Amino acid sequence: MTARFDHVGISVPDLESAVVWYRTALRLTEEHEFSVPGTDLRGMMLRHESGYRIELLHRPSAAPGLDADSPLEAAATLGYGHICLSVDGPDEVDAEFARLVAAGAGARMTPRPAPRPGARMAFVADPYGNLIELIDRVAPRR
């Protein structure tokens, strides 16, 4: 079997406003809206030009889950912790962090060196508290 990553699903309290934020902040385009017959579940699949997709899901009766203030706190709870977006170059981590914060993301971890030598990372949260990591994965220096 050959498998590859397709998308991440994120439950949101307001589908329409989440679509606007994700479309604008992460520069995604709408692929398709859907609803699951016999349920109150609706959603929207969004796609980035690089190929990754985010599926936004909404159920009126959904209850809030983990709202971590940091990636360390998220790692203390089993389950979803964050999504990670790769950027091109260490300066891009800072620029993308600033752009997302200006677009309404919450600053969770300012840009800094990552545990991987030579890499740089930062964390923001979408308007609903879901963590988004930004990372530059430069090749390790030898």
Asked if 28 and 11 touch (Cβ cutoff 8 Å), the reply is: no
The 3-state secondary structure of 82-134, one letter per residue: CEEEECCCHHHHHHHHHHHHHCCCEEEEEEEECCCCCCEEEEEECCCCCEEEE
Average pLDDT score, the chain: 89
pLDDT digits 0-9 by tens, 6-41: 899 999 999 999 999 999 999 999 999 999 999 999
pLDDT over threshold 70, residue 5: yes
pLDDT digits 0-9 by tens, 77-128: 877 789 999 998 778 999 999 999 999 999 999 999 988 888 899 999 999 9
Mean pLDDT score, 63-81: 82
Distance CA 121, CA 111 (A): 5
pLDDT digits 0-9 by tens, 115-137: 888 889 999 999 999 999 999 97
Banded model confidence at residue 139, pLDDT cuts 50, 70, 90 = low
For residue 11, the tally of other CB atoms under 10 A from its CB is 20
pLDDT over threshold 90, residue 140: no
Task: Give the pLDDT of residue 36.
Answer: 92
Q: Is 10 helix (H, G, I), strand (E, B) or coil?
A: strand
Task: Give the pLDDT of residue 116.
Answer: 81
